[in-house]
Chain A
Amino acid sequence: MNGHWTQKSKLLAPIAETGHCGIFLIRMLGSIRLERGLLISTLQQTYLIGARSLVIIMICGFFVGMVLSLQSINALQQFGASDQVSLLVGKSLFRELGPVLTALLFAGRAGTSVAAEIGLMKATSQIEAMQLMAIDPVQRIALPRFLAGLLSLPLLTAMFNAFAILGAVVFSIGVMGLDPGIFWSKLQSGIYFSKDFMGGVWKSVVFGGLVSLIAVYFGYYAKPTGEGVGTATTRTVVMSSVLVLIFDFIMTSFLI
C-alpha cells in the first residue's frame, strides 16, 4: 500500500510542480507595479543576462549560418538549385533554428546563471533577510529577472539570425562564389514578414518567458545548500531545453 502511494505521488509530482510553477508565475505577475525601481532593475538584469550573452550568441549564429549554407549548397547542387540556398537558410533560421537555438543557448548561459544566483541568495539567507525587512523577494528578485529574460530573448534571436545570415553570406558568396544579387533577391522575395519573421518573434517571446520562468522558479525554490544550487542549475537547463522543443512543436503546428 505504501509503495503504491509512493508510486502515485511520484507520478503526480510533475503535475503538482507544474501547478506550483503556475502559481509562482501568477504571484510574480501580480506583483508588477509600474514604478521606476522595476524599470531600472529590469534594465540592469537585461544587461547582465542579455547583453552578456551577446558574444556567444553571435559566434554560434555565425557558425550555424556557415554550416547551414554548406549543407544546403551540398544538397541543392544535386538538383542544380544551389542559388536557392539563401531561401532555405533564411526560412530555416527565421522559423525554427533562430528562436530554438538561441533559447537553448540562453538557457545554458543566462538561465543557469539566474538559477544559481537566486539559489545562492537563498543559501546565504539574503532572501530570508529580504522577507524579514518586509520586502517581497518575488517582486524584487524574481520579477526583474523574468522580465529581462522575456525582453532579451527576442533581441538575442534577432542578433543570432543576423549573424547566421552573415555566416551564410561569407560561405555562400565568399567561399562558394554564389552571385550576391541572386542570394539577396531570393532572400528578400522568399521570406514573408508575417509568416516567417513574426512567427519566429512570437516563438522567441514564448521561449524567453519559459526559460526565465524556469530559471527563477528553480532558483527560488532551490534547497539552501551547495548541492541544492547545483541541482537547480542542472534542472533549469534540462527542463528549459525539453520544454523549448515541446513548445516549438506546439507553436509550429499553429503557426505553419
Chain B
Amino acid sequence: MKETIIHIKNVSFQRDDKVILDDVSMDIKRGSIVAIMGPSGVGKTTILRLISGQLHPSSGSIEVNGEEISAMSHRQLYECRKDIGVLLQNGALFTDLTVFENIATPLREHTSLSENEIRERVLAQLESVGLLGTEELMPDSLSGGMARRVALARAVILNPKIVLFDEPMTGLDPIAMSTVRRLIRKTNDELGLTSVIVTHNVDQMNKLVDYCFVLAAEKLIAEGSPQELMHNNDPAVDQFMNGHVDGPISFRYKPINNSTTTNPS
C-alpha cells in the first residue's frame, strides 16, 4: 500500500459569496499519476492552487508531505515549493529568456551548481523532452507543444517530489498530445514523482493516469481508476465521462443568490 503524499481533508473554498468547493476530500498516493477531472469552471485549478499554497481553504486542511500548507509562513511555503513542480496551462515560460535560461532559472536560484554542471543538467533535461538543439531559441519561436515540453523540463529540473499539471493537453494537436502524455508517464516513473493533472480530456486521461477524481457542482462526485469510472452508474459521472448534453450537470451559469443583486435600490 503506497503512502499518501497529498491529503486533502473536508476542504471548502469560496470566493466572495460563490462556493467553489464544498467539503472535498482526496488522498493522493506517492508515485502515482492522478487526474482531477470535471467540467470547466468546477474548481479543478482551484485545487491545484490550494495544494501549491497560492490559495487558502475556507475550511478543511491540505497536507503535502505531511505538512499543513495553509499553516506555513511565507518562507516555509517557498521552501515547500522547491519540492513541487508546476506546469501552468500556457507553460508560462519567461519571454525574455532563452529556452536554456528558462530551464536553468530554478537551478541558478536554488542550487550552488557551477556553470558547467548547470549546462550539463539543462542539456540532459532538454534531451529527455526531445528538444536538444533548441536551447538558444526564444519562447516565442516555439510551437505550443514544444513550449509545454520546455515548461515540463523546467518544472522537474530540481527533482521535485510532486508535479502539478494544469490542463497540459489543452490546445495541442494529437501528436503533441501523445508526446506530452508519454513524457508525463516517463518523467513520473523515471524520477519517482507524484503527478497531479487537472484536465477535462477524458480520452487522454484514460490512457495516462492511475487514478481519477471527478468534481461536479462543487463536490467530489466520484473517484477510482479510469476503467472503474467508465463503468460508473452515477448519472453525473456517466454524463461527464461520456459527454452527454442532458444530465444532472448543468452547463448554464448559476448566479449567486445575493440580496444586493436583486434589490433595485
Taking Cβ atoms with an 8 Å cutoff, the residues of A that contact B are 37, 121, 124-126, 128-136
Of the residues A125, A134, A135, contact of B92 by C-beta under 8 Å: A125
Report which of A121, A124, A128, A133 forms a contact with B105, defined as CB distance below 8 A.
Answer: A133
In the complex with contacts A125-B88, A128-B88, A133-B95 CB distance below 8 A = no
CB–CB A133/B88 < 8 A: no
Given A132-B52, A134-B109, A126-B95 contact (CB < 8 Å): yes
- Chain B, residues 96-109, CB within 8 Å of chain A (1/0): the string is 00000000011011
Would you call B110 an interface residue if the criterion is a C-beta within 8 Å of the partner chain's C-beta atoms?
Answer: yes
9 smallest beta-carbon distances between A and B, as pairs: A129-B92, A125-B92, A134-B81, A134-B78, A132-B86, A125-B88, A134-B82, A133-B106, A135-B109
A132, B90: Cβ atoms closer than 8 Å: no
B29-84: which have CB < 8 Å to A? 52, 54, 78-79, 81-82, 84
Asked if residues A132 and B84 are in contact (CB atoms below 8 Å), the reply is yes
A124 cross-chain contacts in B, Cβ below 8 A: 90, 92, 95
**Chain A residue at minimum C-beta to C-beta distance from B82:** A134
A254 to B81, CA, bound (A): 49
A128-B88, A132-B52, A134-B82 known; 14 new pairs, CB 8 Å cut-off, are A121-B95, A126-B94, A128-B92, A129-B88, A129-B94, A131-B54, A131-B81, A132-B86, A132-B88, A133-B81, A133-B154, A134-B79, A134-B109, A134-B110
CB distance from A91 to the nearest CB of B (A): 43
Q: Give the Cβ gap from B111 to chain A, nearest Cβ, in Å.
A: 12
List the A side residues contacting B94 at CB < 8 Å.
126, 129-130
- When chains A and B are docked, how far (Å) is the Cα of A121 from the Cα of B105? 16
Which residues of the other chain, A, contact B81 by a CB distance below 8 angstroms?
131-134
The count of residues in chain B whose C-beta lies closer than 8 Å to any C-beta of chain A is 21
CA distance A130 to B78 in the complex (A): 11
Chain B residues positioned under 8 Å from A134 (CB to CB): 78-79, 81-82, 109-110
Contacts of A37 in B (CB 8 A): 108
A125→B92 CA distance, assembly (Å)? 5
Residues of chain A within 8 A of B52, CB atoms compared: 132
Can you name 7 A-B residue pairings with CB atoms under 8 Å?
Answer: A37-B108, A125-B88, A129-B93, A131-B54, A133-B86, A133-B109, A134-B79
> Is the CB–CB distance between A129 and B95 below 8 Å?
no
Contact, CB under 8 Å: B90 / A125: yes
B161 to chain A, nearest CB (A): 14
A136 neighbours in B (Cβ, 8 Å):
78
A74 CA to B105 CA, complexed, in Å: 60
A129 to B151 CA separation, bound complex (whole angstroms) = 10
- In this complex, what residue of B is CB-closest to A135? B109
Contacts of A126 on B, CB cut-off 8 Å? 92-95
Option from B54, B89, B93, B105 in Cβ contact (under 8 Å) with A135: B105
Residues of A contacting B88 in the complex (Cβ-Cβ under 8 angstroms): 125, 128-129, 132
